[in-house]
């Protein structure tokens, strides 16, 4: 009988990412509702030392799967490794992050296990039958749907930065179980030949607590300097609308929206962004939204918690100076 709430931890270069603690926290809250256990799955090479950190966020047990084939993420190797340990232990629920890696992995894993999948969820709860009910935005964020994923385990992914972290208990140490894994290289359909790392030191959009974004109203790539100045003061990431990216003003990695990155920061400042539906779909779950636009009829104001009707080239520098005073 399927039992226990599981999550898949995510690491990069041997270090756990913030999304790992978010899905661990989500699993812990669900498990506490029904009095069951929480187990995590951590994959990689030389990552066993990271497993104990997951205990502070609710993991009772962590299955560590290490192999050279797992040192760099590939869909084939990771899905095969996770499917093996899942089939052997039969958990009731499996939660992954809806990060770039998690979205890729969860689809393949669900297909391999022959079960359903709820993607990019913003809320999890258990119904009277102890089945997972996952809530996710639909129709570009205009509505939400409650989904009960079919099969065992029920698989769902959590939108990054949405699930609150539980209060960490550093004294809690999980049981760490080493799981043997080996795969014939010939069975892997893909091979990573090179990893080009971002050396800019910029904050990853999906993990940022504060994002400052610019749209067509920026008028050109050179004007993003005023947003970068504000971002430096706030410790924020800089994003862009699709129109700005299509114009070549910012790289695609900076794009926020339905065809870019879906973000949920604590604070989202939209400058010169009208609020096209595809952009709103990517940032409407932000905790607080501030819009700066000279068009008082811009759709972005319908989503914003605070709106400034002004020329962004006048307003943004003033805001930056005020932020400096407040944070000094």
Write out the chain's pLDDT in tens, 328 residues.
678 999 999 999 889 999 999 999 999 999 999 999 999 999 999 999 999 999 999 999 999 999 988 989 999 999 999 999 999 999 999 999 999 999 999 999 999 999 999 999 999 999 999 999 999 998 877 889 999 999 999 999 999 999 999 999 999 999 999 999 987 777 788 888 888 777 767 788 988 999 999 999 999 999 999 999 999 999 999 999 999 999 999 999 999 998 899 999 999 999 999 999 999 999 998 999 999 999 999 999 999 999 999 999 999 999 999 999 999 8
Q: How far apart are CA 148 and CA 135, in angstroms?
A: 9
pLDDT of residue 185: 73
Is the distance from CB of 304 to CB of 281 less than 8 angstroms?
no
pLDDT of residue 1: 62
pLDDT of residue 174: 96
Radius of gyration of the chain (CA): 21
Sorted by where each begins, the domain ranges of the chain are 5-187, 205-327
What fold, for 205-327?
Rossmann fold (3.40.50)
pLDDT of residue 193: 84
pLDDT of residue 61: 97
pTM for this structure?
0.86
Taking the alpha carbons of 292, 298, 300, 302 in that order, is the dihedral positive or negative? positive
Say if 5-187 and 205-327 have the same CATH topology: yes
CATH class (in words) of the domain with range 5-187 = alpha beta
């Amino acid at each position: 009988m399927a039992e226990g709430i599981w999550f898949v931890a995510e690491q990069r270069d041997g270090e756990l990412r913030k999304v790992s603690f978010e899905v661990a926290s989500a699993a812990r809250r669900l498990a506490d509702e029904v009095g069951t256990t929480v187990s995590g799955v951590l994959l990689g090479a030389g990552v066993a030392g990271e497993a104990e950190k997951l205990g502070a966020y609710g993991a009772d047990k962590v299955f560590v799967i290490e192999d050279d084939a797992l040192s760099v993420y590939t869909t084939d190797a990771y899905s095969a490794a996770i499917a093996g340990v899942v089939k052997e232990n039969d958990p009731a629920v499996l939660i992954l992050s809806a990060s770039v890696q998690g979205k890729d992995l969860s689809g393949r894993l669900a297909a391999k296990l022959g079960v359903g999948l709820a993607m990019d969820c913003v809320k999890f709860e258990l119904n009277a039958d102890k089945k997972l009910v996952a809530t996710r935005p639909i129709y570009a964020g205009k509505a939400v749907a409650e989904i009960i994923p079919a099969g065992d385990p029920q698989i769902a992914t959590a939108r990054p930065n949405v699930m609150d972290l539980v209060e960490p208990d550093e004294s809690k140490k999980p049981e760490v179980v080493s799981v043997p894994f080996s795969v014939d290289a010939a069975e892997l359909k893909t091979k990573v030949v090179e990893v080009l790392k971002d050396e800019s030191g910029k904050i990853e959009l999906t993990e940022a607590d504060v994002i400052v974004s610019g749209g067509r109203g920026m008028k050109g790539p050179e004007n993003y300097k005023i947003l970068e100045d504000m971002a430096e003061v706030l410790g924020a990431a800089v994003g862009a609308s699709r129109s700005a990216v299509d114009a070549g003003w910012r790289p695609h990695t900076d794009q926020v929206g339905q065809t870019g990155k879906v973000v949920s920061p604590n604070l989202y400042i939209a400058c010169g962004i009208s609020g096209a539906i595809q952009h709103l779909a990517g940032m409407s779950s932000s905790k607080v939204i501030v819009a700066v636009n000279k068009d008082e009829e811009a759709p972005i104001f319908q989503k914003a918690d605070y709106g400034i009707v002004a020329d962004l080239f006048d307003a943004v520098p003033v805001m930056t100076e005020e932020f400096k005073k407040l944070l000094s």
